[in-house]
Copies of this chain bind each other. A is one copy, B any other.
Amino acid sequence: MNTVQYICTIMNKKEIQEQRVKGYFITATKDLLKSDGLKSVSVRNIADRAGYSFATLYNYFKDVKDLVFLCVKDFREECREYVESRTMAITPGNKRLKAIILAYMEYFIQYPGIFDLFFAEKLSDISGKGDTSALITSLLDELCAADWDYCIDMRMLTSREAGLKKAALLYGSTGLLTLYLNRRHPGSYDAFLKQATHFIDSQLKS
Binding site for B on A (CB under 8 A): 39, 119-123, 133-134, 136-137, 164, 167-168, 170-176, 178-179, 182-185, 195, 198-199, 202-203, 206
Judging by beta carbons under 8 Å apart, are B172 and A133 in contact? no
A134 and B185 CA atoms in complex are apart in Å by: 8
Copies of this protein chain in the complex: 2
Judging by beta carbons under 8 Å apart, are B183 and A136 in contact? yes
Contact of A199 among B39, B137, B171, B184 (CB under 8 A): B171
Chain B residues with Cβ below 8 Å from A136 are 183
16 A-B pairs with CB atoms under 8 Å apart are A119-B183, A120-B120, A120-B178, A133-B183, A133-B184, A134-B185, A137-B183, A164-B198, A164-B202, A167-B198, A168-B172, A171-B171, A171-B172, A171-B176, A171-B199, A174-B179
CB distance from A199 to the nearest CB of B (A): 6
Dominant secondary structure of chain A at its interface with chain B: helix
Residue from A133, A137, A168, A184 whose CB has the most chain B CB atoms within 10 Å: A168
Contact of A119 among B170, B173, B178 (CB under 8 A): B178
Closest to A172 in B: B171
Closest to A173 in B: B175
Contact of A168 among B120, B122, B199 (CB under 8 A): B199
Residue from A171, A182, A199 whose CB has the most chain B CB atoms within 10 Å: A171
A137 and B192 CA atoms in complex are apart in Å by: 14
A148 and B23 CA atoms in complex are apart in Å by: 54
Judging by beta carbons under 8 Å apart, are A123 and B168 in contact? no
